[in-house]
Amino acid sequence: MAEVQPSIEEQAAVFGMLADPTRLKLVKLLCYQHESGALCVNALADILGVTQSAVSQHLRVLKAVGLVKGERRGCHMHYFVNQDMLQEFRQLTLGALSVDESSYEQLCHKSCLERR
């Protein structure tokens, strides 16, 4: 089962990062913004109904994994989704939710044989 682990760890990290409801709302909101229509922390906080501090903390997490990018415009940073990273996260998520039954059957069969 060792060959499955690295992918599982990545998938779990993505799900863990998106497990916070506010963070998930933030990602969904930013998915609707194009780079030219990026939003600042103040606007994001107003739309989501949370504090600027909370938005900043969530953005820090999302930026750390590369899902969100920021661009300085005047005095404010404006944020948008990194489309390339979003696509990678989609693939990881799809991989986590799809089942290759033959692989798991082989693993189960091998495990059962080893226990005999």
Question: Residue 105 above 80 pLDDT?
Answer: no
Residue labelled with tokens 């415009």: 73
Question: Averaged over 4-22, what is the pLDDT?
Answer: 82
Confidence of residue 1 (pLDDT cuts 50, 70, 90): very low
What is the pTM for the complete model shown? Answer: 0.74
Question: Residue 14 above 90 pLDDT?
Answer: no
Full set of structural domains in the chain with CATH:
5-115 (1.10.10.10)
Question: Averaged over 30-48, what is the pLDDT?
Answer: 89
Ordered DSSP codes for 42-83: HHHHHHHTS-HHHHHHHHHHHHHTTSEEEEEETTEEEEEE-H
- Least Cα distance to 96 among 6, 1, 2 occurs for 6
Confidence of residue 91 (pLDDT cuts 50, 70, 90): confident
40: three-class secondary structure by DSSP: strand
